[in-house]
Amino acid sequence: MRLLKWAFPLFPLISALPQITRQGKYLFDPSGNRFFIKGVAYQPQGTLATDSASNEANGGFPEPSSFIDPLSSAQNCTRDLPYLKQLGVNAVRVYSVNSSLNHDDCMKMFDDAGIYVLLDVSLPLNGSIDRSSPSWSTNLLNEYTTTINAFLKYDNILAFNIGNEVINLVSNTNAAPYVKAAARDIKAYLRGLGSSVLIGYSAVDGDADFRNTLAEYMSCGDDSISVDIYGLNNYEWCGNETITSSNWNTITSGFSSLPVVTYMSEYGCIFNPPRLWTEVTALFASPVSDVFSGGMAFSYFPTSDGYGMVTIDGNSVTTSDDFTRLSAQYNNTKPPTSITKSSAPAVTTISCPSENSTLLASSTLPPTPDEAVCDCLNANAFACLVKQSSANSPTIVGALIDYTCSLLGANGGSCDPIGGNGSSGMYGSLSMCSPAIKLSYAMSAYYGTNPVSTSCDFAGNATLSPHPPNTAQDASTAAQSCLAQQPSGGVYTISASSSVPTGSTTASGSGSSSTPSSSSGSSSSSAIRSSGTGWTVLFGLTGVLLGVVLGVRM
């Protein structure tokens, strides 16, 4: 069991709401009655990124470049709570929070009002698994667990979402193993803390084959690797639809054999306003309620597409007809009489689907990110290191990784050790490391092909290590020693410790970085050679040796 270097309060706040638990494909309250989510998305929209190249890389989806934490302002929560009560919700979905801020007031207000929170733990743009270049890495693991640590003390946390629409096309279903690895490691982390909070994923809608196969993939296997609760963002019901005309009959049938909880993680017509919300009646009645456990209407706050239910001017809230209609539907609709926990079907599992034309995802998952191994390599096996000031910029790190890997390839080297392939199930030994450490590997490997001082400059973004390996063989030995610290199989349980990190911050997804991690091992080198000839002798084979040692794992 490895330790995360983050403080964690092991005592809950006194809370009014009981914990909702999962048994198989249903949610239950402590009395054994089935629980249905009657919720609304509660996230002010941040600034949307205007970089068309970034949006194209994200599958055409614009990503926010900033976000507003809705749970950090007691004043705003006090303003909104009466309206959430009017809607009749028992849950809200929050997409982005700043874990360093205080959320006690808002969480207590919602708790007292009987409102659970389903919280996404990723952050927009650079704090989530990147669908265009996926990885499950130490910086993301630290970011997710830091947010979880900040919110586990609140008993009205319904679930933590580890991703939202990461996979949005068949062509990027190769990101699915990374999402599932995140679910695996976060579930293990929570179990280590004695927590049974649910772990979920929210999926984009699509045609039946894509939609169903991805849902099966994320919910297959035993409880240690499957998500607990699977959400579908669906906007097909418009106006006075029926279950058939809205395609909800097909969706319900396709999800009927899933062994995990399912719900509509976003719903509401976006094609033919005004929204009538007549789907609420169907959502809380058989046959849909036999499969789905409610849903989250989108969205309380206004969006750039004009789908908000209120407009806000300071402390003044003006409700729309959308709000009035949803309020009427929620308050006039009661969840159906359903099975109790004692009479629920036996818990089952399903086999994982094979790779096919709609699923380019291997059942072999990436390893658990191991910060100790990555720090050890950074301290002992690399000759060229990214400067901390540059590592703090995701844009700089992402561009430099692309540039350095192209230079390395042109010189007979490879960036395979820092890459991975979710389709083949092959992952480089450094694929789990932060982008900054991946960049230092690439820079060091390139430096080994041309060991002169200018080869470790990169426009002032890198510097030679103060304690590099003395020889190429030393670098290889150091790398082997660092990798030997990993548990067999590369999967283990991370637990919280009482210590706080010194000099390490978290950030970003693939192609971005935080501050370089502090060294966790002692340097194995002595003096640095100064002559060009000496560097050639000592480091000319470093890139080759490191590439062989670090390699690619399955």
Active site amino acids:
165, 266
Instruction: Count CA atoms closer than 13 A to 476's CA, side-chain side.
Output: 16
d(CA 217, CA 361): 8
Under a CB-based contact definition with an 8 Å cutoff, are residues 395 and 531 in contact?
no
Q: Catalogue the E-assigned strands of 299-400.
A: 310-313, 316-319, 384-386
Cα separations (Å) of 312 from 110, 246, 276, 316?
19, 32, 22, 6
- Number of helical H runs and strand E runs in the chain: 16, 19
Q: Give CA–CA dist 148/157, Å, rounded.
A: 10
Q: Provide the token pair at 402.
A: 């692309």
Under a CB-based contact definition with an 8 Å cutoff, are residues 512 and 394 in contact? yes
Q: How many Cβ atoms sit within 10 Å of the Cβ of residue 412?
A: 9
Check: CB of residue 399 under 8 Å from CB of residue 51. Answer: no
Residue 413: count of CB within 10 angstroms of its CB: 20
| Cis upstream peptide for 513 (omega within 30°) | no
**Residue from 375, 405, 378 nearest 469 by CA:** 378
Residue of 37, 219, 43, 39 whose CA lies nearest to 122: 43
**Other CB atoms within 10 Å distance of the CB of residue 239:** 15
Residue 524 one-letter amino acid: S
Residue 38 backbone phi and psi in degrees, to 5: -120, 85
d(CA 191, CA 549): 34
User: Within 13 Å of residue 520, how many CA atoms lie on the same side as its CB?
Assistant: 19
Q: Whole-angstrom Cα distance, residue 47 to residue 65?
A: 6
Instruction: For tokens 């679930």, name the residue.
Output: 159
**Cα–Cα distance between 442 and 414 in angstroms, integer?**
8
H or E stretch at 38:
strand 37-41
* Phi/psi at 163 (5° precision): -175, 150
Instruction: Please answer whether residues 265 and 229 qualify as being in contact, where contact means their C-beta atoms are separated by less than 8 angstroms.
Output: no
Hey, what are 58's tokens?
């994200």
